[in-house]
């Protein structure tokens, strides 16, 4: 797709990569041909002219952790999700959240490592069910992909744990609205991508 745009000699490319590293060679080719490359949600790309972020990514991770800690009463076991371990912003958010938790909320404990959902509701649903079986004292989940909290919320609702497990993360009302109403998802956060595109 990007190679087609390069062949058409576009003036600029604006990319929001799922796997940032894999784009480096094609973005390098674009820049060598004088095409301006702008990225979003990819602070680690090097073959770009500009990177536009909607906010301070580590601060966003800390914000989500504050929301999670509030729902959990500052104690208990929690799990985190990313769409992919190669999605730079997701990893930045959870790493900042985990470091902040260790500093600010010492009575909370990360379990299960960093879970990948592949931006798929079924994957986050199945992984949440597995986490609930493996860690029966799990009381919190933080999601990064807009679909992480949806799958997690569905598993929480199915298990009747809406009042016992706090679910927070990035999402939008059209995805998670019903789960917010049922209490299976507690907090969602988002930004307006149109503003980043405008920038």
Q: What is the pLDDT of residues 48-77, one digit of tens each?
A: 998 888 889 999 999 999 999 999 999 999
d(CA 90, CA 83): 7
pLDDT at 195: 78
pLDDT of residue 53: 82
This prediction's pTM: 0.85
DSSP three-state, residue 26: helix
pLDDT, residue 59, reads 96
Residues 6+ apart with CB under 8 A from 90: 82, 83, 84, 144, 145
Closest CA to 57 of 81, 41, 80: 41
Taking residue 175's Cβ as centre, other Cβ atoms within 10 Å add up to 19
Q: Which domains does the chain have, with CATH numbers?
A: 2-52 (no CATH), 57-191 (3.40.50.2300)
Give the three-class secondary structure for 190. coil
For residue 192, how many other CB atoms are within 10 A of its CB? 9
Query: Which residues are bridge partners to 115 per DSSP?
Result: 81
pLDDT by residue for the chain (199 residues), tens only, comes to 888 889 899 999 988 877 777 889 999 999 999 999 998 878 888 999 988 888 899 999 999 999 999 999 999 999 999 999 988 899 999 999 999 999 999 999 999 999 999 999 999 999 999 999 999 999 999 999 999 999 999 999 999 999 999 999 999 999 999 999 999 999 999 988 777 777 7
């Amino acid at each position: 797709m990007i190679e087609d745009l390069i062949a058409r000699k576009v003036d600029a490319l604006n990319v929001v990569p799922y796997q940032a590293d894999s784009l480096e060679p094609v973005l390098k080719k674009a820049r060598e041909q004088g095409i301006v490359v702008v990225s979003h949600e990819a602070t680690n790309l090097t073959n770009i002219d500009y990177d536009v972020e909607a906010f301070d990514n580590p601060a966003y991770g800390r914000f989500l952790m504050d929301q999670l800690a509030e729902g959990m009463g500052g104690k208990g076991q929690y799990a985190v999700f990313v769409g992919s371990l190669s999605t730079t912003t997701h990893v930045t958010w959870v790493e900042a959240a985990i470091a902040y938790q260790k500093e600010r909320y010492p009575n909370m404990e990360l379990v299960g490592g960093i879970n990948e959902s592949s931006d798929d509701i079924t994957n986050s649903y199945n992984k949440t069910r597995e986490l609930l079986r493996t860690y029966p004292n799990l009381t919190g989940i933080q999601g990064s992909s807009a679909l992480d909290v949806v799958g997690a919320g569905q598993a929480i609702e199915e298990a009747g744990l809406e009042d016992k497990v706090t679910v927070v993360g990035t999402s939008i009302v059209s995805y998670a609205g019903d789960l917010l109403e049922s209490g299976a998802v507690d907090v969602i956060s988002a930004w307006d991508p149109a503003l980043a595109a405008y920038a």
